[in-house]
Copies of this chain bind each other. A is one copy, B any other.
């Protein structure tokens, strides 16, 4: 297998894009990524395209060949859509990386797009909840805030942390990620918040309040993937894909413990083994903070903290820019950068690539050499992780 590298990256600002279609948003990100790679659309040999809900957002199924056409890729380049709920783009990029490593393709464009904000909150809430299991979960009225609220209660109970204390720790995750997002010109929310604002907010699903939750977002992100040898000829600072992992958790009923996403344990183990690295080697992390409690759970399952030990990390300043690190979600995360579900994984990779190239500006993690991407799909059904390092 060849070593695989990320060449150029591109993303739109995340937020509200009522007047652009998904294919227009994706083309914008993709053309930036291709230009940053020193290549042309005609050089792309395949498109691995992520989108979750284009049929509900725009009445558009089968979006991949239309995105392909909007970018001007050659007819001979296959374009295919992936959907793995919120892990969609990470799965698409991992598949692209596997095929480039194997030598099936030399240059692949991969990423995703979503218009989850423009579809409106009621429809977004209902359609997101379709990633819950339709027979055993949906009939109970479960939506994602409910899933993560249950996880927070379980965490409080399992580790004997009084709920008010856990809520304050969770609030500090939101404060940190907004602090980071305020430094990211592509973030949906570029303003700082306080723990008091989080704790004084509208209750969504006890104990999760409004600012514990990521927003609905529109946006797109894309990367160009090739082999490291070619990458070194094309760009000054290629970034290597050192290891990947993906696993499947099934419906929530298969989870013995809501605080430890079982697919994530498998996934991170596989990714670290392939990379020959350990959590101690990682300088910067983009992980799936769809809710504040989700960041805490991810840090533990991947192995950055012991179980029951990550809840105070943000409050202690460890995971914040300038903290002892690893720095978590310097982009602002899903929480502040935004969460256009089909694009999220690609945007996480865009951030890590910028960090490893030392091009992240005011949110640069000094001397970052190894970065980690974690994306969770649905209520624990899919986890996909990618480890990146300087090429």
Contacts from A to B (Cβ < 8 Å): 1, 21, 47, 52-53, 55-56, 58-62, 64-66, 68-69, 73, 75-85, 91, 95, 98-99, 101-104, 127, 130-131, 133-135, 138, 246-251, 254, 262-263, 266, 270, 377-378, 381-382, 384
Quickly give the copy total for this chain: 2
Known: A1-B103, A61-B378, A64-B84. 18 other contacts (CB 8 A): A61-B127, A62-B378, A64-B248, A65-B84, A65-B250, A65-B381, A73-B248, A75-B247, A75-B250, A75-B266, A78-B246, A78-B248, A78-B384, A82-B82, A98-B99, A98-B102, A98-B104, A102-B103
- The 7 A-B pairs at the shortest CB distance, nearest first, are namely A69-B250, A102-B102, A65-B381, A78-B246, A62-B85, A62-B131, A61-B130
- Cα–Cα, bound, A219→B121 (Å): 34
- Cα–Cα, bound, A65→B95 (Å): 16
- Cα–Cα, bound, A65→B66 (Å): 27
The answer to whether B83 and A61 have CB atoms under 8 Å apart is yes
A118 to chain B, nearest CB (A): 13
- Cα–Cα, bound, A123→B70 (Å): 28
A56 to chain B, nearest CB (A): 7
The 14 listed contacts between A and B (C-beta, < 8 Å) are A21-B134, A21-B135, A58-B134, A64-B248, A64-B381, A65-B377, A66-B251, A68-B248, A75-B248, A75-B250, A80-B91, A82-B82, A99-B99, A102-B102
- Cα–Cα, bound, A247→B62 (Å): 14
Contact with A76, one of B64, B99, B270, B378 (Cβ below 8 angstroms): B270
Kindly list chain B residues whose C-beta atoms are within 8 Å of the C-beta of A101.
102, 104
The answer to whether A247 and B78 have CB atoms under 8 Å apart is yes
Given the known interface contacts A56-B55, A248-B75, the answer about A80 and B95 at a Cβ–Cβ threshold of 8 Å is yes
Kindly list chain B residues whose C-beta atoms are within 8 Å of the C-beta of A263.
65, 75
- Cα–Cα, bound, A80→B345 (Å): 15
A33 to chain B, nearest CB (A): 18
The answer to whether A61 and B21 have CB atoms under 8 Å apart is no
- Cα–Cα, bound, A65→B134 (Å): 13
- Cα–Cα, bound, A210→B131 (Å): 36
A133 to chain B, nearest CB (A): 6
The answer to whether B99 and A248 have CB atoms under 8 Å apart is no
